[in-house]
A and B are shown apart, each in its own frame.
Chain A
Amino acid sequence: AQKVTQAQTEISVVEKEDVTLDCVYETRDTTYYLFWYKQPPSGELVFLIRRNSFDEQNEISGRYSWNFQKSTSSFNFTITASQVVDSAVYFCALSRAGNQFYFGTGTSLTVIP
């Protein structure tokens, strides 16, 4: 069975603080894919990153960084120096070839000015 857990339902931070969104996944497959999507208040789902199970390199894109650790089945997302525009719901998703995406329940991030 495949499952994604985002234990943090809501997080509030003050602007310029760093924040980490947790994602823990379960799968028995050795090949799988992990994704993060952002859903701003306007409602659309915006793709942020995709990671293959065989690539454990962390990634940084501007203020965003992702820490993939197979040993703990986690794929955490950190926003550095948060901004009000980062306020959104963030979803982590897991998939494997030939199978559907499994989304977590999302973490609602509010950045307070």
Chain B
Amino acid sequence: DSGVTQTPKHLITATGQRVTLRCSPRSGDLSVYWYQQSLDQGLQFLIQYYNGEERAKGNILERFSAQQFPDLHSELNLSSLELGDSALYFCASSPTGGQGRDTQYFGPGTRLTVL
């Protein structure tokens, strides 16, 4: 158990809908990262938040957004969902904002299925 929690574990929804994925980092960690894992794209970095502020952006679509709250939990919002958004979404956390330098600890993931 990495100490990172993600809810829900599974999510099934329809095209065009909006969903919110939630992540709580390990105790003491200030950074949260979001990743998408799909069969054709592999593991793709989406976005990083550090202590409430956006720190880095990767291959995140405009339909997707995230935020980190004062208690350091984070939410990833996916809107206007398409079939291709079906994937496993991971949250990871690390102690500081030093992306790249820190080890990232991953949560169990949320499996999103868009029908």
Contact = CB atoms under 8 A, between A and B. Distances in A.
Contacts, number: 57
A90 to B, nearest CB: 12
Contact of B101 (A43, A91, A97, A105): A97
B8 interface: no
For chain B, the bracket of interface size reads 20 to 34
Interface centre among B88, B100, B108, B109 (most CB of A within 10 A): B100
B90 A99 contact: no
B42 A105 contact: yes
Given A43-B108, A44-B107, A47-B106, A98 B99 contact: yes
Interface of B: 2, 42-43, 45, 48, 56, 58, 88, 90, 92, 98-101, 103-109, 111
Given A91-B43, A103-B43, A47 B58 contact: no
A37 B108 CA distance: 13
Interface of A: 32-33, 35, 37, 42-47, 50, 91, 95-101, 103, 105-106
Contacts of B48: 100
Contacts of B2: 44, 46-47
